[in-house]
Homo-oligomer: A and B are copies of this chain.
Amino acid sequence: MARIKTEKNISRKDVIVTKAAILFREKGFKAASMRDLAEAVGVEAASLYNHIKSKTELLHELCFSVANRFLHKIDEVEAEPITAIEKVEKLLRFHINEMVNHYEEVYVSDREWKHLSDPYLSNFQNQRRIYRKRFAAIIENGIRHNEIKKIDAPTAVLIMLHAISGIESWHRSTQKISAEELEENMITILVGGLVNR
């Protein structure tokens, strides 16, 4: 009867949540079964329920832990006395790093939140909407100060956030450039565009 191995400060629940992120990313939330997860953890499916309440709880945990990190970051960035472009760049770099270093979690939170159920679902959607509005507000500020082109701010936000989710492809690719190169390339393109002038 082999127990789930834990290290210091890592609960068995944390182990399960982490493995769940990997599995949900790989197969999708619906397609990943609790029996799959149990196998990944090295235990029988029923045993998981000594540590978690339900499959959906795993999704809650993942989605909200990611969402909270982004909300804290935008709090921080908004308060800094820097230009709008610098704020945008800081947020982008944060997004890129989160996507590079916490790939599974961020990816799952991004693509599988639809399977949350109320009240978590509407809660999550709200947080997401608010985050985007605050991001757009920064861009609108930049437009007002002539730092940023006269564009539709919500559209800009949408482009930025989705472009970053493309790091998924980078992660999966075999011959990948370094994370640093990736970051610099993304910032160059998103902030400065393709055209050479």
Q: A residues near B, CB below 8 A? A: 27-28, 30-31, 85, 88, 111, 114-115, 139, 142, 146-152, 154-156, 158-170, 173, 177, 181-182, 185-186, 188-196
Contact = CB atoms under 8 A, between A and B. Distances in A.
Q: Which applies to chain A's interface (DSSP): helix, strand, loop or mixed?
A: helix
A177 B192 contact: no
A28 B192 contact: no
Listed residue (A85, A146, A147, A149) with the most chain B CB atoms within 10 angstroms of its CB: A149
Contacts of A161: 166
A64 to B, nearest CB: 20
A88 B194 contact: yes
State the 10 A-B residue pairs at the shortest beta-carbon distance, nearest first: A193-B193, A162-B166, A30-B30, A158-B166, A192-B193, A159-B163, A163-B163, A155-B185, A152-B185, A30-B31
A85 B197 CA distance: 12
Contacts of A181: 152
A157 to B, nearest CB: 9
Nearest to A111: B111
Contacts of A139: 194
B28 A149 contact: no
Given A28-B30, A159-B163, A159-B166, A192 B189 contact: no
Given A28-B30, A30-B28, A189-B151, A194 B156 contact: yes
A187 to B, nearest CB: 10
A176 B155 CA distance: 10
A193 B196 contact: no
